[in-house]
Amino acid sequence: MQELESCEICPHRCKVNRENGQIGRCRCNDKIKIALVSVHQYEEPCISRINGSGTIFFSNCNLNCMYCQNYEISQLGKGREILVEELADIFLEQQAKKVNNINLVTPTMYAYQIIEAIKIARKKRTRNSNNI
């Protein structure tokens, strides 16, 4: 992915080549890494509403907040690597659960992969709805 060859996704502008395994301040390489997929009933009521919020927690973070409540995920990188196609499937699985929204938690470092995953999910959804 060209945008990752000199990463300037966030204001840190590390300009590292994540495609070559270099890592910047966020410690992300070119792979998507997620820690948790869940239906979150306990976000603020305006977000969770009735069916809950379809959360996807991304691993690592471009910030280093001293009191991060998810530090194992954000600072220690806890999680598993997935392909962009798998992320698209996760979006669709969350949607199938009729969640009120898809809630991307700390997604900034993966913005371009997420855009690709949304495109794939939209294509798959269109294909599936043509079959109904």
Q: How far is CA 20 from CA 2, 16, 71, 73, 77, in A?
A: 11, 9, 26, 23, 19
**Span of 7-15, 29-37, 42-50, 64-72 interacting with ligand SF4 by CB under 6 A:** 7-15
Distance CA 2, CA 25 (A): 19
Q: Which of 46, 44, 38 is nearest to 102 (CA)?
A: 38
31 scored as a contact of ligand SF4 (CB under 6 A): no
Torsion of CA 41, 74, 63, 15, to 10 degrees: -120
**Closest residue to ligand SF4, Cβ-based?**
24
Least distance in angstroms from the C-beta of 105 to ligand SF4: 15
32 scored as a contact of ligand SF4 (CB under 6 A): no
The single residue among 29, 62, 94, 106 that binds ligand SF4, judged by CB under 6 A, is 62
Q: Which is nearer to ligand SF4, 55 or 62 (CB)?
A: 62
Please count the residues of this chain forming the interface with ligand SF4, following the rule CB under 6 A. 14
Q: Which of 10, 8, 9, 30 is nearest to 19 (CA)?
A: 30
35 scored as a contact of ligand SF4 (CB under 6 A): no
Q: Say if residues 85 and 114 touch (Cβ distance below 8 Å).
A: no
Distance CA 73, CA 76 (A): 6
Least distance in angstroms from the C-beta of 4 to ligand SF4: 8
96-125 residues near ligand SF4, rule: CB under 6 A: 109
The site for ligand SF4 (CB under 6 A) is made up of 7-10, 12-14, 16, 24-26, 28, 62, 109
